[in-house]
Amino acid sequence: MPPLVEATSAFKGVIDQSTESLQRIRRILEAVGSPLEALAASGSRFVHVTGTNGKGTVCAGLAAKLRQFRVGTFTSPCQRWPNDQISVNGDSIPAAGYERELQRIMEEARKEGEVGLTDFEATTIAAFSWFAKMRPLDFVIIEVGMGGREDATNVLPSTDVAVLTGVALDHTNFLGPTLEDICSAKCGIITPHTRTAVVSGAYVNASCLDIVQDRCALTGTDFRVVEGSADSDDYKGHYAALEDEIMKALGVSDDQKSRLSGPGKHLELRGRQELIQHPLDPYPSHDTRRSLAHFIQQTLEGQPEITEVLADTRTDLNPLRFIVALSGGRIPSELFPLFLKPFAVPTTGVYTTTFRDVPQMPWVKAVDPTEAAKAAQQCLPSTKIIEPVEDLTTALKRSIHPNTDVTHRPLVVVCGSLYLVREYLLLLDEGLLEI
């Protein structure tokens, strides 16, 4: 898909990567024909989704449940190619169409003198413009890029439902050092033009719920909480309940719900706890990182040849290998115990690594693999194989011993940052995985 890379790179001379400005994106949206106003005038209803974890899952699940309608969906970051972020009823904008949108936006940015437009702003404008061309759309589901208040997506003329899937410490250098700071930034998508806010009671703590409720009172927005427990393994059930509450707020009738085939099913997200076997035989699932250990345990239960050797001290059996990269700002010593500690046996292996530059997000960098390896060693003191490596390909090759019996090939867990998972999916799609 080289043309897409070239089209995005073409912005480098016109667009810097500075702090986003909502006034800037509004001017360019007007210059390209005010697509959001056109969507609203044609009857499209907007769902705006933010949250530290789970927002992509909820967007996908909601789009799947509404598939009897015409639904536009914009998500980020891209899982493979930038045009994959923009879809109507599951069909991505064609690569050529995406390039044309970017070129048109770039030309308008030059005319307007907006040399500070960011890649993410350009992609957001491209999404809105494409959706306007695909009218009529019954629903438009928009995932926030980061935060909410100053995010490029926060320019909707009206919002039927604003959704907060969870609040945790992330992007603290942009959003603030506390949960309350982060929550305040995220609930900035709730405006006087927002009809209903649906909030997770499982992944938003009490003090943050108060902040959201106060915001709703200030803006005259209906406030709804979907109760749940952060300690429960039934995260899928909780997200499904969030989606159902969103549909209720949208006024989807019982008759319409009954015609939605496969209630509760999700449009599976690539890379969210997806089991991929070689030769390829995918069994997708998706959740948050809290439940990664639970997902691995379930997977191991179906592979007794691995389970039998988990307690064996011979590392050549290779039962379980983790390949981990964390986005900058994450603290390995806090995250690793969540999913590594349950597998603290000598035969487990951990390779810490980095990931490629992220399209539209040049500020995103990985935690230094050497520092991450030190944290892994503290978490797994008995583990004999913990090694920082330079890239994902090297980590994959080292995860499988060249002389290993095929019955003892390991379960390789690629985890941590979605940007590492994106790189894995690209290698997979390009047929470059030789493991």
170: left (phi over 0), alpha (psi -120 to 50) or beta: beta
Q: What are the start-end ranges of the E strands in 303-417? A: 320-325, 348-352, 385-388, 411-416
- Residue ranges of domains in the chain: 2-258, 289-429
Q: 54-63, 120-129, 157-166, 290-299 — which is least confidently predicted?
A: 290-299
What is the spatial distance between Cα 160 and Cα 193, in angstroms, rounded to a whole number? 8
Q: 213-217, 227-231, 291-295, 341-345 — which is least confidently predicted?
A: 291-295
Q: What is the band of 280 on the pLDDT scale with cuts at 50, 70, 90?
A: very low
Residue 284 has pLDDT above 60, yes or no: no
- What mean pLDDT do residues 288-310 have? 48
Long-range contacts of 313-316 (CB under 8 A, 24+ apart): 313/346, 313/347, 314/347, 315/346, 315/347, 315/349, 315/384, 315/385, 316/401, 316/403, 316/404
Reported as a single tens digit per residue, the pLDDT across 75-106 is: 988 777 889 999 999 999 999 999 999 999 99
Reported as a single tens digit per residue, the pLDDT across 314-323 is: 444 447 889 9
List the one residue out of 311, 331, 433, 319 whose CA is nearest residue 382. 311
Burial of 253 (0-12, 13-18, 19+ CB in 10 A): exposed
- What mean pLDDT do residues 264-292 have? 42
Residue 414 has pLDDT above 80, yes or no: yes
**8 Å CB contact between 143 and 74:** yes
Q: 41-45, 239-243, 264-268 — which is least confidently predicted?
A: 264-268
Residue 8 has pLDDT above 70, yes or no: no
CATH code of the domain made up of 2-258: 3.40.1190.10
What is the spatial distance between Cα 392 and Cα 420, in angstroms, rounded to a whole number? 8
Backbone angles phi, psi at 256, to 5 degrees: -65, -40
Q: What is the band of 266 on the pLDDT scale with cuts at 50, 70, 90?
A: very low
What is the spatial distance between Cα 388 and Cα 205, in angstroms, rounded to a whole number? 35
Strand order across the 385-388 sheet: 385-388, 348-352, 320-325, 411-416
DSSP for 264-291, please give it: T---PPTTSS-B--TTT--B-----GGG
Reported as a single tens digit per residue, the pLDDT across 379-395 is: 999 888 899 999 999 99
pLDDT at 292: 59
Q: How many residues does the chain have?
A: 435
Reported as a single tens digit per residue, the pLDDT across 113-147 is: 876 788 889 999 999 999 999 999 999 999 999 89
Residue 311 has pLDDT above 90, yes or no: no
pLDDT at 254: 66
CATH code of the domain made up of 289-429: 3.90.190
Reported as a single tens digit per residue, the pLDDT across 324-376 is: 999 887 889 988 888 888 788 888 889 999 998 877 677 788 999 999 999 99
pLDDT at 406: 46
pTM exceeds 0.75: no
pLDDT at 259: 58
pLDDT averaged over every residue in the chain: 80
Q: Give 53 or 72, the one with higher predicted confidence.
A: 72
